[in-house]
A and B are shown apart, each in its own frame.
Chain A
Amino acid sequence: MTGRRLSERVIADGVVVAAIAGWWLMSLRLPAFLMPSPLQVAEKVAALFVTPSLLADTAASAARVVVAVVVSAVLGGALALIPYRWPVTEAIVRDRITPFLNSFPSVGWAILAMIWFGTTNAAVLFVEIAILTPFCLINLLEGLKELDGELIEMGASFTRRRGRSFWKIVVPMLLPYVLSAIRIAYGVAWKIALIAELFGVSSGLGYLMLKAQIVSDAAMVYATCFAIVLLFLAGEKLVIDPLSRLVAYK
Protein backbone atom coordinates (compact mmCIF):
# COMPACT_ATOMS: atom_id res chain seq x y z
CA MET A 1 0.00 0.00 0.00
CA THR A 2 2.73 2.44 0.95
CA GLY A 3 4.63 1.41 -2.18
CA ARG A 4 1.63 2.21 -4.30
CA ARG A 5 1.07 5.49 -2.54
CA LEU A 6 4.69 6.38 -3.12
CA SER A 7 4.48 5.66 -6.83
CA GLU A 8 1.26 7.66 -6.98
CA ARG A 9 3.10 10.62 -5.47
CA VAL A 10 6.08 10.16 -7.76
CA ILE A 11 3.86 10.18 -10.84
CA ALA A 12 1.82 13.16 -9.64
CA ASP A 13 4.85 15.27 -8.86
CA GLY A 14 6.53 13.89 -11.97
CA VAL A 15 3.71 15.36 -14.05
CA VAL A 16 4.30 18.76 -12.47
CA VAL A 17 8.07 18.56 -12.95
CA ALA A 18 7.66 17.37 -16.53
CA ALA A 19 5.24 20.22 -17.26
CA ILE A 20 7.66 22.79 -15.92
CA ALA A 21 10.61 21.18 -17.71
CA GLY A 22 8.64 21.09 -20.96
CA TRP A 23 7.72 24.73 -20.49
CA TRP A 24 11.36 25.63 -19.84
CA LEU A 25 12.53 23.75 -22.95
CA MET A 26 9.92 25.51 -25.08
CA SER A 27 10.90 28.87 -23.63
CA LEU A 28 14.46 28.25 -24.84
CA ARG A 29 13.30 27.95 -28.44
CA LEU A 30 10.52 30.51 -28.48
CA PRO A 31 10.89 34.28 -28.06
CA ALA A 32 10.14 35.65 -24.58
CA PHE A 33 7.06 37.60 -25.69
CA LEU A 34 5.52 34.26 -26.69
CA MET A 35 6.83 31.90 -24.03
CA PRO A 36 8.77 33.40 -21.13
CA SER A 37 10.79 30.99 -19.01
CA PRO A 38 9.39 29.64 -15.73
CA LEU A 39 12.02 31.62 -13.84
CA GLN A 40 11.06 34.96 -15.40
CA VAL A 41 7.41 34.28 -14.56
CA ALA A 42 8.27 33.23 -11.01
CA GLU A 43 10.12 36.52 -10.53
CA LYS A 44 7.08 38.45 -11.72
CA VAL A 45 4.77 36.47 -9.45
CA ALA A 46 7.01 37.28 -6.51
CA ALA A 47 7.01 40.92 -7.58
CA LEU A 48 3.21 40.96 -7.50
CA PHE A 49 3.35 40.18 -3.80
CA VAL A 50 6.41 42.27 -2.88
CA THR A 51 6.80 45.38 -5.04
CA PRO A 52 4.57 48.00 -3.36
CA SER A 53 2.97 49.38 -6.52
CA LEU A 54 2.11 45.89 -7.77
CA LEU A 55 1.07 44.71 -4.33
CA ALA A 56 -1.47 47.53 -4.31
CA ASP A 57 -3.09 46.02 -7.42
CA THR A 58 -3.04 42.53 -5.94
CA ALA A 59 -4.59 43.81 -2.72
CA ALA A 60 -7.22 45.78 -4.64
CA SER A 61 -8.34 42.63 -6.45
CA ALA A 62 -8.36 40.60 -3.25
CA ALA A 63 -10.37 43.22 -1.37
CA ARG A 64 -12.95 43.41 -4.15
CA VAL A 65 -13.29 39.62 -4.21
CA VAL A 66 -13.88 39.48 -0.44
CA VAL A 67 -16.44 42.30 -0.49
CA ALA A 68 -18.24 40.82 -3.50
CA VAL A 69 -18.44 37.35 -1.94
CA VAL A 70 -19.81 38.68 1.34
CA VAL A 71 -22.35 41.00 -0.30
CA SER A 72 -23.59 38.36 -2.72
CA ALA A 73 -23.92 35.79 0.08
CA VAL A 74 -26.07 38.26 2.01
CA LEU A 75 -28.06 39.21 -1.08
CA GLY A 76 -28.50 35.59 -2.16
CA GLY A 77 -29.57 34.67 1.36
CA ALA A 78 -32.12 37.49 1.47
CA LEU A 79 -33.55 36.50 -1.92
CA ALA A 80 -33.73 32.84 -0.88
CA LEU A 81 -35.54 33.67 2.36
CA ILE A 82 -38.28 35.71 0.66
CA PRO A 83 -40.12 32.66 -0.72
CA TYR A 84 -39.48 30.82 2.54
CA ARG A 85 -41.34 33.51 4.43
CA TRP A 86 -43.94 34.32 1.73
CA PRO A 87 -44.59 31.16 -0.35
CA VAL A 88 -46.54 33.18 -2.90
CA THR A 89 -43.26 34.67 -4.14
CA GLU A 90 -41.74 31.24 -4.82
CA ALA A 91 -42.23 31.40 -8.60
CA ILE A 92 -40.84 34.93 -8.73
CA VAL A 93 -37.57 33.89 -7.16
CA ARG A 94 -37.29 30.39 -8.65
CA ASP A 95 -38.59 30.94 -12.16
CA ARG A 96 -37.76 34.57 -12.84
CA ILE A 97 -34.89 35.95 -10.79
CA THR A 98 -32.76 32.80 -10.54
CA PRO A 99 -32.74 31.80 -14.22
CA PHE A 100 -32.38 35.42 -15.28
CA LEU A 101 -29.31 36.06 -13.14
CA ASN A 102 -27.95 32.60 -13.79
CA SER A 103 -28.00 32.82 -17.56
CA PHE A 104 -27.01 36.47 -17.82
CA PRO A 105 -23.60 36.49 -19.52
CA SER A 106 -20.86 37.87 -17.28
CA VAL A 107 -19.31 39.81 -20.14
CA GLY A 108 -22.68 41.47 -20.61
CA TRP A 109 -22.63 42.70 -17.02
CA ALA A 110 -19.08 43.93 -17.47
CA ILE A 111 -19.87 45.99 -20.56
CA LEU A 112 -23.14 47.35 -19.15
CA ALA A 113 -21.46 48.31 -15.88
CA MET A 114 -18.79 50.17 -17.77
CA ILE A 115 -21.43 52.14 -19.68
CA TRP A 116 -23.57 52.75 -16.59
CA PHE A 117 -20.98 53.45 -13.92
CA GLY A 118 -17.88 54.32 -15.89
CA THR A 119 -14.48 52.97 -14.93
CA THR A 120 -14.89 52.96 -11.17
CA ASN A 121 -14.50 50.64 -8.26
CA ALA A 122 -18.28 50.49 -7.97
CA ALA A 123 -18.54 49.16 -11.53
CA VAL A 124 -16.21 46.25 -10.76
CA LEU A 125 -18.01 45.43 -7.52
CA PHE A 126 -21.36 45.58 -9.30
CA VAL A 127 -20.19 43.11 -11.94
CA GLU A 128 -18.75 40.70 -9.40
CA ILE A 129 -21.83 40.83 -7.18
CA ALA A 130 -24.20 40.41 -10.14
CA ILE A 131 -22.32 37.31 -11.26
CA LEU A 132 -21.89 35.73 -7.81
CA THR A 133 -25.39 36.30 -6.42
CA PRO A 134 -27.10 33.52 -8.43
CA PHE A 135 -24.52 30.98 -7.23
CA CYS A 136 -25.31 31.85 -3.61
CA LEU A 137 -29.03 32.05 -4.31
CA ILE A 138 -29.21 28.58 -5.89
CA ASN A 139 -27.27 27.00 -3.05
CA LEU A 140 -29.34 28.62 -0.32
CA LEU A 141 -32.65 27.84 -2.03
CA GLU A 142 -31.46 24.24 -2.12
CA GLY A 143 -30.52 24.44 1.56
CA LEU A 144 -33.90 25.82 2.58
CA LYS A 145 -35.58 22.99 0.66
CA GLU A 146 -33.56 20.39 2.57
CA LEU A 147 -34.34 21.79 6.02
CA ASP A 148 -35.67 19.22 8.44
CA GLY A 149 -39.38 20.03 8.72
CA GLU A 150 -39.78 18.02 11.93
CA LEU A 151 -37.16 20.07 13.72
CA ILE A 152 -38.91 23.27 12.69
CA GLU A 153 -42.22 21.87 13.94
CA MET A 154 -40.59 20.97 17.19
CA GLY A 155 -39.23 24.50 17.40
CA ALA A 156 -42.71 25.88 16.79
CA SER A 157 -44.04 23.76 19.64
CA PHE A 158 -41.47 25.27 21.99
CA THR A 159 -41.94 28.89 21.11
CA ARG A 160 -44.44 31.01 19.25
CA ARG A 161 -41.88 33.64 18.42
CA ARG A 162 -40.93 33.04 14.81
CA GLY A 163 -37.78 35.12 15.11
CA ARG A 164 -36.56 32.96 17.95
CA SER A 165 -37.11 29.64 16.22
CA PHE A 166 -35.62 31.11 13.03
CA TRP A 167 -32.36 32.13 14.70
CA LYS A 168 -32.11 29.03 16.89
CA ILE A 169 -33.15 26.37 14.40
CA VAL A 170 -33.30 27.50 10.78
CA VAL A 171 -30.07 29.49 10.77
CA PRO A 172 -27.87 26.77 12.34
CA MET A 173 -29.30 24.16 9.95
CA LEU A 174 -28.67 26.51 7.07
CA LEU A 175 -25.06 27.31 7.98
CA PRO A 176 -23.45 24.44 6.01
CA TYR A 177 -25.29 25.64 2.91
CA VAL A 178 -24.22 29.22 3.54
CA LEU A 179 -20.67 28.00 3.71
CA SER A 180 -20.87 25.92 0.56
CA ALA A 181 -22.44 28.95 -1.16
CA ILE A 182 -19.51 31.06 -0.02
CA ARG A 183 -17.06 28.39 -1.15
CA ILE A 184 -18.54 28.23 -4.63
CA ALA A 185 -18.86 32.00 -4.90
CA TYR A 186 -15.27 32.42 -3.78
CA GLY A 187 -14.02 30.01 -6.44
CA VAL A 188 -15.97 31.77 -9.17
CA ALA A 189 -15.07 35.22 -7.84
CA TRP A 190 -11.37 34.92 -8.60
CA LYS A 191 -12.06 33.79 -12.14
CA ILE A 192 -14.48 36.56 -12.96
CA ALA A 193 -12.51 39.22 -11.09
CA LEU A 194 -10.35 39.45 -14.20
CA ILE A 195 -13.30 39.96 -16.53
CA ALA A 196 -14.72 42.66 -14.28
CA GLU A 197 -11.40 44.43 -14.00
CA LEU A 198 -10.49 44.19 -17.68
CA PHE A 199 -13.21 46.70 -18.45
CA GLY A 200 -13.83 48.43 -15.21
CA VAL A 201 -10.92 50.11 -13.52
CA SER A 202 -7.31 51.18 -13.50
CA SER A 203 -6.22 48.99 -10.62
CA GLY A 204 -6.18 45.29 -9.85
CA LEU A 205 -4.74 42.17 -11.42
CA GLY A 206 -7.13 42.26 -14.38
CA TYR A 207 -5.96 45.74 -15.23
CA LEU A 208 -2.30 44.65 -14.93
CA MET A 209 -3.03 41.69 -17.16
CA LEU A 210 -4.65 43.73 -19.90
CA LYS A 211 -1.87 46.31 -19.76
CA ALA A 212 0.72 43.53 -20.01
CA GLN A 213 -1.08 41.93 -22.92
CA ILE A 214 -1.15 45.23 -24.83
CA VAL A 215 2.61 45.71 -24.50
CA SER A 216 3.22 41.98 -25.17
CA ASP A 217 4.68 41.42 -21.71
CA ALA A 218 3.79 37.72 -21.71
CA ALA A 219 5.65 37.06 -18.45
CA MET A 220 3.28 39.44 -16.66
CA VAL A 221 0.19 37.84 -18.24
CA TYR A 222 1.39 34.44 -16.99
CA ALA A 223 2.29 35.91 -13.60
CA THR A 224 -1.16 37.43 -12.99
CA CYS A 225 -2.76 34.07 -13.86
CA PHE A 226 -0.52 32.22 -11.41
CA ALA A 227 -0.94 34.88 -8.73
CA ILE A 228 -4.68 34.30 -8.93
CA VAL A 229 -4.23 30.55 -8.58
CA LEU A 230 -2.04 31.16 -5.50
CA LEU A 231 -4.43 33.66 -3.93
CA PHE A 232 -7.37 31.38 -4.57
CA LEU A 233 -5.64 28.40 -2.94
CA ALA A 234 -4.44 30.49 0.00
CA GLY A 235 -7.92 31.83 0.70
CA GLU A 236 -9.46 28.40 0.45
CA LYS A 237 -6.92 26.72 2.72
CA LEU A 238 -6.58 29.53 5.26
CA VAL A 239 -10.12 30.86 5.51
CA ILE A 240 -12.77 28.70 3.87
CA ASP A 241 -11.56 25.26 4.99
CA PRO A 242 -11.18 26.21 8.70
CA LEU A 243 -14.59 27.92 8.58
CA SER A 244 -16.29 24.85 7.13
CA ARG A 245 -14.62 22.62 9.73
CA LEU A 246 -15.99 24.92 12.39
CA VAL A 247 -19.50 24.72 10.96
CA ALA A 248 -19.37 20.96 10.46
CA TYR A 249 -18.18 20.51 14.04
CA LYS A 250 -21.19 22.35 15.41
Chain B
Amino acid sequence: MPSANSIAAAGRRAGQGWTIARRSRLAAHLFTLAFLLAWWGYSQTVPAFVLPGPVPVATRLVQFFTTYNLYKHAFASLEHIAAGMAIAFAVGTALALAAHYFPVLRLAVHGRVSPFLNSFSGIGWTLLSIVWFGVNEFTVIFAITVVLTPFAIINMREGLDTLDREMLEMAASFTRNRWREFTRVVAPALLPFVFATLRISFGVSWKVALAAELFGGRTGLGYLFNLAQQNFDVRLILVVIAIIIAFVYGTDRLVFAPLQSRFGRPDAEPAS
Protein backbone atom coordinates (compact mmCIF):
# COMPACT_ATOMS: atom_id res chain seq x y z
CA MET B 1 0.00 0.00 0.00
CA PRO B 2 2.63 2.56 -0.81
CA SER B 3 0.86 5.41 -1.84
CA ALA B 4 2.41 8.71 -2.40
CA ASN B 5 4.82 7.28 -4.96
CA SER B 6 2.40 5.15 -6.86
CA ILE B 7 -0.18 7.91 -6.91
CA ALA B 8 2.44 10.29 -8.24
CA ALA B 9 3.30 7.71 -10.87
CA ALA B 10 -0.35 7.32 -11.74
CA GLY B 11 -0.58 11.07 -11.98
CA ARG B 12 2.36 11.27 -14.36
CA ARG B 13 0.85 8.53 -16.46
CA ALA B 14 -2.28 10.56 -16.74
CA GLY B 15 -0.09 13.47 -17.75
CA GLN B 16 -1.24 15.74 -14.98
CA GLY B 17 1.82 15.84 -12.76
CA TRP B 18 1.18 16.00 -9.06
CA THR B 19 -2.27 17.51 -9.12
CA ILE B 20 -4.01 14.17 -9.38
CA ALA B 21 -1.98 12.86 -6.44
CA ARG B 22 -3.06 15.84 -4.42
CA ARG B 23 -6.68 15.46 -5.43
CA SER B 24 -6.50 11.79 -4.59
CA ARG B 25 -5.18 12.53 -1.13
CA LEU B 26 -7.85 15.12 -0.60
CA ALA B 27 -10.45 12.57 -1.68
CA ALA B 28 -9.03 10.13 0.87
CA HIS B 29 -9.36 12.67 3.69
CA LEU B 30 -12.91 13.43 2.60
CA PHE B 31 -13.59 9.72 2.61
CA THR B 32 -12.35 9.46 6.20
CA LEU B 33 -14.61 12.34 7.19
CA ALA B 34 -17.57 10.80 5.37
CA PHE B 35 -16.89 7.49 7.11
CA LEU B 36 -16.86 9.13 10.56
CA LEU B 37 -19.99 11.08 9.71
CA ALA B 38 -21.80 7.96 8.50
CA TRP B 39 -20.73 6.13 11.66
CA TRP B 40 -21.97 9.00 13.81
CA GLY B 41 -25.23 9.25 11.86
CA TYR B 42 -25.93 5.55 12.06
CA SER B 43 -25.05 5.40 15.75
CA GLN B 44 -27.74 8.01 16.42
CA THR B 45 -30.38 5.65 15.07
CA VAL B 46 -29.42 2.47 16.97
CA PRO B 47 -29.02 1.77 20.69
CA ALA B 48 -25.55 2.35 22.15
CA PHE B 49 -24.97 -1.30 22.92
CA VAL B 50 -25.26 -2.08 19.21
CA LEU B 51 -23.04 0.67 17.88
CA PRO B 52 -21.78 3.55 20.02
CA GLY B 53 -20.81 6.68 18.09
CA PRO B 54 -17.27 7.94 17.42
CA VAL B 55 -17.35 10.41 20.32
CA PRO B 56 -18.06 7.93 23.14
CA VAL B 57 -15.51 5.57 21.63
CA ALA B 58 -12.92 8.36 21.50
CA THR B 59 -13.52 9.32 25.13
CA ARG B 60 -13.21 5.69 26.12
CA LEU B 61 -9.96 5.54 24.14
CA VAL B 62 -8.60 8.43 26.20
CA GLN B 63 -9.68 6.65 29.38
CA PHE B 64 -7.86 3.59 28.13
CA PHE B 65 -4.60 5.45 27.90
CA THR B 66 -4.95 6.88 31.38
CA THR B 67 -5.63 3.59 33.13
CA TYR B 68 -2.73 1.47 34.23
CA ASN B 69 -4.75 -1.75 34.25
CA LEU B 70 -5.39 -1.48 30.54
CA TYR B 71 -1.75 -0.79 29.70
CA LYS B 72 -1.01 -4.03 31.44
CA HIS B 73 -3.11 -5.92 28.90
CA ALA B 74 -1.61 -4.12 25.92
CA PHE B 75 1.90 -4.96 27.11
CA ALA B 76 0.92 -8.53 27.86
CA SER B 77 -0.23 -8.89 24.23
CA LEU B 78 3.04 -7.38 23.02
CA GLU B 79 4.99 -9.83 25.15
CA HIS B 80 3.05 -12.80 23.78
CA ILE B 81 3.61 -11.63 20.24
CA ALA B 82 7.30 -10.90 20.70
CA ALA B 83 7.89 -14.31 22.28
CA GLY B 84 5.85 -16.13 19.62
CA MET B 85 7.57 -14.30 16.77
CA ALA B 86 11.05 -14.93 18.15
CA ILE B 87 10.50 -18.64 18.75
CA ALA B 88 8.71 -19.18 15.43
CA PHE B 89 11.45 -17.34 13.57
CA ALA B 90 14.18 -19.41 15.21
CA VAL B 91 12.39 -22.72 14.64
CA GLY B 92 11.30 -21.89 11.09
CA THR B 93 14.74 -20.67 10.07
CA ALA B 94 16.39 -23.71 11.63
CA LEU B 95 14.07 -26.03 9.68
CA ALA B 96 14.58 -24.12 6.42
CA LEU B 97 18.37 -24.18 6.89
CA ALA B 98 18.30 -27.88 7.72
CA ALA B 99 16.38 -28.60 4.52
CA HIS B 100 18.77 -26.40 2.55
CA TYR B 101 22.03 -27.86 3.81
CA PHE B 102 20.80 -31.46 4.08
CA PRO B 103 18.73 -31.90 0.90
CA VAL B 104 17.66 -35.30 2.10
CA LEU B 105 15.41 -33.53 4.63
CA ARG B 106 13.85 -31.31 1.99
CA LEU B 107 10.69 -33.33 1.43
CA ALA B 108 10.22 -33.91 5.14
CA VAL B 109 10.32 -30.17 5.90
CA HIS B 110 8.71 -28.64 2.83
CA GLY B 111 6.51 -31.56 1.85
CA ARG B 112 5.27 -32.67 5.26
CA VAL B 113 5.90 -30.37 8.24
CA SER B 114 5.31 -27.02 6.54
CA PRO B 115 2.07 -27.85 4.66
CA PHE B 116 0.68 -29.56 7.74
CA LEU B 117 1.36 -26.58 9.99
CA ASN B 118 0.17 -24.24 7.27
CA SER B 119 -3.21 -25.86 6.82
CA PHE B 120 -3.93 -26.40 10.51
CA SER B 121 -6.23 -23.76 11.90
CA GLY B 122 -4.94 -21.32 14.52
CA ILE B 123 -8.09 -21.69 16.59
CA GLY B 124 -7.57 -25.45 16.47
CA TRP B 125 -4.12 -25.02 17.99
CA THR B 126 -5.54 -22.68 20.60
CA LEU B 127 -8.28 -25.06 21.71
CA LEU B 128 -5.88 -28.01 21.68
CA SER B 129 -3.30 -26.17 23.73
CA ILE B 130 -6.02 -25.19 26.22
CA VAL B 131 -6.74 -28.90 26.58
CA TRP B 132 -3.03 -29.66 26.99
CA PHE B 133 -1.69 -26.75 29.01
CA GLY B 134 -4.75 -25.04 30.48
CA VAL B 135 -5.66 -21.37 30.27
CA ASN B 136 -2.39 -19.48 30.69
CA GLU B 137 0.36 -17.53 28.99
CA PHE B 138 2.09 -20.62 27.71
CA THR B 139 -1.01 -21.62 25.76
CA VAL B 140 -1.17 -18.23 24.07
CA ILE B 141 2.53 -18.19 23.14
CA PHE B 142 2.37 -21.79 21.97
CA ALA B 143 -0.57 -21.08 19.65
CA ILE B 144 1.09 -17.97 18.19
CA THR B 145 4.36 -19.83 17.67
CA VAL B 146 2.82 -22.80 15.89
CA VAL B 147 0.81 -20.58 13.57
CA LEU B 148 3.79 -18.37 12.68
CA THR B 149 6.32 -21.16 12.13
CA PRO B 150 5.16 -22.16 8.61
CA PHE B 151 5.34 -18.50 7.52
CA ALA B 152 8.97 -18.43 8.64
CA ILE B 153 9.77 -21.74 6.91
CA ILE B 154 8.18 -20.67 3.63
CA ASN B 155 9.78 -17.24 3.55
CA MET B 156 13.25 -18.35 4.56
CA ARG B 157 13.07 -21.16 2.04
CA GLU B 158 12.34 -18.65 -0.66
CA GLY B 159 15.37 -16.67 0.45
CA LEU B 160 17.62 -19.74 0.46
CA ASP B 161 16.33 -20.85 -2.94
CA THR B 162 17.13 -17.53 -4.55
CA LEU B 163 20.70 -17.42 -3.22
CA ASP B 164 23.03 -16.60 -6.05
CA ARG B 165 24.85 -19.81 -6.98
CA GLU B 166 27.73 -17.97 -8.60
CA MET B 167 28.26 -15.89 -5.52
CA LEU B 168 28.36 -19.04 -3.39
CA GLU B 169 30.89 -20.56 -5.77
CA MET B 170 32.97 -17.43 -5.53
CA ALA B 171 32.75 -17.54 -1.75
CA ALA B 172 33.78 -21.20 -1.79
CA SER B 173 36.81 -20.30 -3.85
CA PHE B 174 37.83 -17.70 -1.28
CA THR B 175 37.40 -19.75 1.85
CA ARG B 176 36.95 -23.33 2.94
CA ASN B 177 35.44 -22.22 6.21
CA ARG B 178 31.71 -22.79 5.78
CA TRP B 179 30.82 -20.75 8.82
CA ARG B 180 32.72 -17.80 7.36
CA GLU B 181 30.94 -18.31 4.08
CA PHE B 182 27.62 -18.38 5.92
CA THR B 183 28.16 -15.20 7.92
CA ARG B 184 29.76 -13.20 5.11
CA VAL B 185 27.73 -14.27 2.09
CA VAL B 186 24.64 -16.29 2.94
CA ALA B 187 23.38 -14.32 5.94
CA PRO B 188 23.58 -10.88 4.27
CA ALA B 189 21.80 -12.25 1.19
CA LEU B 190 19.06 -13.58 3.46
CA LEU B 191 18.57 -10.31 5.30
CA PRO B 192 15.75 -9.04 3.04
CA PHE B 193 13.87 -12.27 3.60
CA VAL B 194 14.40 -12.00 7.34
CA PHE B 195 12.66 -8.64 7.27
CA ALA B 196 9.91 -9.89 5.00
CA THR B 197 9.38 -12.82 7.39
CA LEU B 198 9.22 -10.59 10.44
CA ARG B 199 6.88 -8.17 8.73
CA ILE B 200 4.46 -10.87 7.66
CA SER B 201 4.71 -12.60 11.04
CA PHE B 202 3.92 -9.38 12.83
CA GLY B 203 0.79 -8.80 10.79
CA VAL B 204 -0.43 -12.35 11.32
CA SER B 205 0.61 -12.59 14.95
CA TRP B 206 -1.80 -9.88 16.10
CA LYS B 207 -4.76 -11.68 14.75
CA VAL B 208 -3.67 -15.00 16.19
CA ALA B 209 -2.75 -13.47 19.52
CA LEU B 210 -6.21 -11.96 19.94
CA ALA B 211 -7.94 -15.24 19.19
CA ALA B 212 -5.58 -17.16 21.46
CA GLU B 213 -5.97 -14.69 24.33
CA LEU B 214 -9.70 -14.61 23.89
CA PHE B 215 -10.04 -18.32 24.51
CA GLY B 216 -6.87 -19.32 26.28
CA GLY B 217 -5.50 -16.30 28.14
CA ARG B 218 -5.96 -14.38 31.35
CA THR B 219 -4.12 -11.30 30.10
CA GLY B 220 -3.80 -9.36 26.88
CA LEU B 221 -6.08 -7.40 24.59
CA GLY B 222 -7.84 -10.59 23.50
CA TYR B 223 -8.78 -11.21 27.13
CA LEU B 224 -10.18 -7.68 27.23
CA PHE B 225 -12.31 -8.66 24.24
CA ASN B 226 -13.59 -11.56 26.26
CA LEU B 227 -14.52 -9.32 29.21
CA ALA B 228 -16.07 -6.70 26.95
CA GLN B 229 -18.11 -9.29 25.13
CA GLN B 230 -19.45 -10.70 28.38
CA ASN B 231 -20.49 -7.24 29.52
CA PHE B 232 -21.79 -6.27 26.07
CA ASP B 233 -19.37 -3.34 26.26
CA VAL B 234 -19.23 -2.55 22.55
CA ARG B 235 -17.38 0.68 23.32
CA LEU B 236 -14.47 -1.23 24.76
CA ILE B 237 -14.52 -3.66 21.82
CA LEU B 238 -14.29 -0.79 19.35
CA VAL B 239 -11.54 0.87 21.40
CA VAL B 240 -9.46 -2.29 21.39
CA ILE B 241 -10.04 -2.70 17.65
CA ALA B 242 -9.01 0.92 17.01
CA ILE B 243 -5.84 0.50 19.05
CA ILE B 244 -4.94 -2.66 17.20
CA ILE B 245 -5.54 -1.14 13.77
CA ALA B 246 -3.50 1.93 14.67
CA PHE B 247 -0.70 -0.12 16.18
CA VAL B 248 -0.48 -2.74 13.44
CA TYR B 249 -0.67 -0.21 10.65
CA GLY B 250 1.65 2.25 12.40
CA THR B 251 4.28 -0.37 13.11
CA ASP B 252 4.12 -1.68 9.58
CA ARG B 253 4.51 1.80 8.06
CA LEU B 254 6.90 3.35 10.57
CA VAL B 255 9.10 0.40 11.54
CA PHE B 256 8.95 -2.39 8.99
CA ALA B 257 8.53 -0.41 5.78
CA PRO B 258 11.60 1.81 6.40
CA LEU B 259 13.64 -1.15 7.63
CA GLN B 260 12.69 -3.15 4.59
CA SER B 261 13.29 -0.40 2.09
CA ARG B 262 16.72 0.01 3.68
CA PHE B 263 17.71 -3.64 3.87
CA GLY B 264 15.27 -5.41 1.67
CA ARG B 265 13.92 -5.70 -1.79
CA PRO B 266 12.01 -2.53 -2.54
CA ASP B 267 9.17 -4.50 -4.07
CA ALA B 268 8.57 -6.78 -1.11
CA GLU B 269 5.05 -6.20 0.13
CA PRO B 270 3.58 -7.97 3.10
CA ALA B 271 1.26 -10.68 1.94
CA SER B 272 -0.26 -10.98 5.40
Contact = CB atoms under 8 A, between A and B. Distances in A.
Tell me, yes or no, whether A binds B. Answer: yes
A22 to B, nearest CB: 14
A56 B34 CA distance: 43
Given A4-B103, A90-B24, A225-B128, A95 B122 contact: no
24 contacts: A4-B104, A16-B112, A34-B132, A87-B14, A87-B20, A87-B24, A88-B24, A92-B28, A94-B6, A95-B3, A99-B1, A103-B245, A103-B249, A105-B207, A106-B211, A107-B207, A115-B232, A195-B123, A206-B123, A213-B127, A225-B121, A225-B124, A228-B121, A232-B119
Q: Interface majority SS on A: helix, strand, loop or mixed? A: helix
Given A12-B112, A88-B23, A218 B119 contact: no
Contacts of B119: 187, 190, 228-229, 232-233
Contacts of A134: 272
A80 interface: no
A138 interface: yes
Contact of A90 (B6, B206, B240): B6
Interface residues of B, number: 65
B112 to A, nearest CB: 5
B272 A105 contact: no
B130 A11 contact: no
Given A91-B27, A102-B203, 12 more contacts: A12-B111, A14-B108, A16-B112, A87-B24, A99-B249, A105-B210, A106-B211, A108-B244, A111-B237, A116-B50, A210-B127, A225-B121
A112 B116 contact: no
B237 A7 contact: no
A108 B131 contact: no
Given A92-B28, A111-B225, A191-B122, A103 B103 contact: no
Contacts of A232: 119
Interface in A158-201: 184, 187, 190-191, 193-195, 198
Contacts of A187: 118-119
Interface string A141-159: 0100100010000000000
B52 to A, nearest CB: 11
Contacts of A92: 24, 27-28, 31
B269 interface: yes
A8 B11 CA distance: 53
Interface residues of A, number: 65
Interface of A: 4, 7-9, 11-16, 33-35, 87-92, 94-96, 98-100, 102-108, 111-112, 114-116, 134-135, 138, 142, 145, 149, 184, 187, 190-191, 193-195, 198, 206, 209-210, 213, 216, 218, 221-222, 224-225, 228-229, 232-233
A11 B123 contact: no
Contacts of A145: 6
A12 B20 contact: no
A44 to B, nearest CB: 14
B73 interface: no
The 9 closest A-B pairs by CB, nearest first: A91-B28, A225-B124, A12-B107, A103-B248, A12-B108, A91-B24, A194-B123, A108-B241, A107-B210
B123 A221 contact: no
Nearest to A206: B123
B234 A115 contact: yes
Given A91-B27, A190-B121, A198-B123, A106 B132 contact: no
B222 A34 contact: no
A168 B245 CA distance: 39
A95 B244 contact: no
Contacts of A107: 207, 210-211, 214, 222, 225
